[in-house]
């Protein structure tokens, strides 16, 4: 069973002008609330990690005065202390890490160093050119972080009532279905499983000469094979008898829009899926389904890596930690 007991929370305290904003961003508030909610159900241990600036060395002040970097660090640490206190009031154990650098790198290094079971992040849901140029911590974490990554929705109201697992029958996506089933039992939620069947433009797309009016029958055959494969997959996972037929969905067309439609129509709170974790230029230009979906979904997303995934990020010692008694 997936055991989310060691939970790392990525805390973004910045706004467009300041490293530490006057108020905690709503995306971060949602991630903190979800982390505390999850830890209460798993008896988990929480670590709140904030990356407050790229490089302390850029701030210079007279020796008798605190540098801007120190002031930012202190302000961030005070907020993290408040999150730790919230967790402790809920009966949990929590600590904090305040560091500098690139958020996705620092979070991944923390996972490597301390073996967290899951990373929880808030999503800013950037769109368009800003998202293309700047990316997002969540999207980068899908590529480099070895642990599961849970990206909360700004619309998250706390509870997980409906979970949908998307599968393409790969080993990683079948693991996602299994984890979704375990979470469904743990949270007393409703499980849905979705597979999307490509639409074939026969005979033009493949250049195969088909008799008149058989293009539709070709698609029907593909749908039938996909349905059989989906049932076989659920049987292998031991779910065939525990999930109702109306909770097993066979969609048509590309996976990304099919998943978005299912999330909207079913009122899903959490999507669980695997990622191909592409690297390099191909991943930048094409991405994968999880990355394509992340900026557009209204629900939270839990993404798992392939078995044996190894990150290229090197660990290092983190700069500051506070352990609760």
Helix axis angle, 26-42 to 68-89, nearest 10°: 40
pLDDT in the model for residue 184: 93
Whether residues 288 and 169 share a domain: the answer is yes
Note whether residue 154 is domain-resident. Answer: no
Q: Is the pLDDT of residue 176 over 70?
A: yes
The DSSP element (H or E) to which 221 belongs, if any, is helix 215-236
Whether residues 192 and 101 share a domain: the answer is no
Whether residues 213 and 105 share a domain: the answer is no
Whether residues 130 and 55 share a domain: the answer is yes
Note whether residue 305 is domain-resident. Answer: no
Whether residues 247 and 282 share a domain: the answer is yes
Note whether residue 151 is domain-resident. Answer: no
Q: How many domains does the chain have?
A: 2
Note whether residue 157 is domain-resident. Answer: no
pLDDT in the model for residue 253: 85
Whether residues 116 and 245 share a domain: the answer is no
Q: Please write the tens of the pLDDT for every residue from 51-93.
A: 987 654 444 444 455 667 778 888 999 999 999 999 999 999 9
Q: Which residues contact 32 (CB under 8 A, 6 or more apart)?
A: 9, 11, 24, 48, 83, 86
Q: Is the pLDDT of residue 255 over 60?
A: yes
Q: Which domain holds residue 87?
A: 6-146+311-323
Q: Please write the tens of the pLDDT for every residue from 150-169.
A: 999 877 767 899 999 999 99
pLDDT in the model for residue 278: 53
Note whether residue 152 is domain-resident. Answer: no
Per-residue confidence at 287, pLDDT binned at 50, 70, 90?
very low
pTM: 0.83
Whether residues 256 and 280 share a domain: the answer is yes
Whether residues 198 and 108 share a domain: the answer is no
CA dist., res. 177 & res. 239, Å (int):
9
Whether residues 260 and 294 share a domain: the answer is yes
pLDDT in the model for residue 154: 72
Residue with more model confidence, 208 or 2: 2
Q: Most confidently modeled of 6-15, 295-304, 309-318? A: 6-15
What average pLDDT score do residues 112-139 get? 68
Read off the CATH number of the domain in which 263 is found: 3.40.50.620
What average pLDDT score do residues 22-34 get? 90
What average pLDDT score do residues 304-325 get? 66
Q: Please write the tens of the pLDDT for every residue from 178-203.
A: 999 999 998 899 999 999 987 754 44
Q: Please write the tens of the pLDDT for every residue from 302-312.
A: 999 888 888 88
User: Which strand ranges, in their side-by-side order, compose the sheet holding 149-152?
Assistant: 248-252, 190-197, 162-166, 270-274, 300-304, 149-152, 118-122, 6-11, 45-51, 93-99, 321-323
Note whether residue 155 is domain-resident. Answer: no
Angle ∠(270,162,87) on CA atoms, nearest 5: 60
Whether residues 168 and 82 share a domain: the answer is no
The rounded mean pLDDT for the chain is 81
Q: Please write the tens of the pLDDT for every residue from 192-243.
A: 999 998 775 444 444 555 555 554 577 788 888 889 999 999 999 999 988 9
Note whether residue 67 is domain-resident. Answer: yes
pLDDT in the model for residue 213: 54
Whether residues 74 and 109 share a domain: the answer is yes
Q: Is the pLDDT of residue 321 over 50?
A: no
Whether residues 121 and 40 share a domain: the answer is yes
pLDDT in the model for residue 55: 53
Note whether residue 32 is domain-resident. Answer: yes
Q: Is the pLDDT of residue 279 over 80?
A: no
What average pLDDT score do residues 245-252 get? 92
């Amino acid at each position: 069973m997936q055991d989310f007991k060691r939970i790392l929370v990525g805390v973004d305290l910045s706004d467009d002008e300041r490293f530490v904003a006057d108020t905690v961003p709503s995306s971060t508030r949602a991630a903190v609330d979800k982390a505390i909610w999850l830890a209460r159900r798993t008896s988990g241990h929480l670590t709140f990690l904030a990356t407050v600036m790229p490089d302390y060395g850029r701030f210079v002040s007279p020796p008798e005065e605190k540098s801007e970097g120190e002031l930012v660090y202190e302000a961030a640490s005070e907020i993290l202390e408040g999150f730790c206190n919230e967790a402790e009031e809920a009966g949990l154990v929590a600590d904090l890490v305040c560091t500098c650098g690139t958020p996705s790198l620092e979070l991944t290094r923390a996972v490597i160093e301390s073996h967290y079971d899951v990373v929880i992040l808030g999503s800013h849901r950037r769109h368009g050119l800003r998202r293309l140029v700047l990316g997002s911590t969540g999207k980068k974490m899908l590529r480099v972080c070895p642990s599961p990554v849970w990206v909360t929705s700004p619309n998250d109201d706390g509870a997980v009532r409906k979970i949908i697992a998307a599968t393409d029958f790969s080993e990683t996506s079948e693991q996602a279905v299994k984890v979704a089933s375990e979470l469904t039992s743990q949270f007393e939620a409703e499980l849905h499983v979705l597979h999307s069947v490509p639409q074939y433009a026969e005979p033009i797309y493949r250049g195969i000469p088909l008799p008149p009016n058989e293009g539709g029958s070709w698609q029907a055959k593909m749908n039938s094979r996909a349905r059989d494969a989906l049932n076989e997959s659920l049987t292998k996972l031991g779910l065939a008898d525990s999930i109702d037929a109306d909770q097993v969905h066979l969609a048509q067309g590309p996976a990304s829009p099919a998943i978005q439609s299912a999330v909207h129509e079913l009122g899903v709170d959490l999507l669980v899926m695997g990622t191909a974790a592409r690297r390099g230029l191909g991943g930048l230009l094409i991405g994968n389904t999880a990355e394509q979906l992340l900026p557009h979904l209204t629900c939270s997303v839990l993404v798992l890596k392939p078995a044996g995934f190894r990150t290229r990020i090197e660990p290092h010692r983190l700069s500051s930690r506070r352990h609760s008694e």
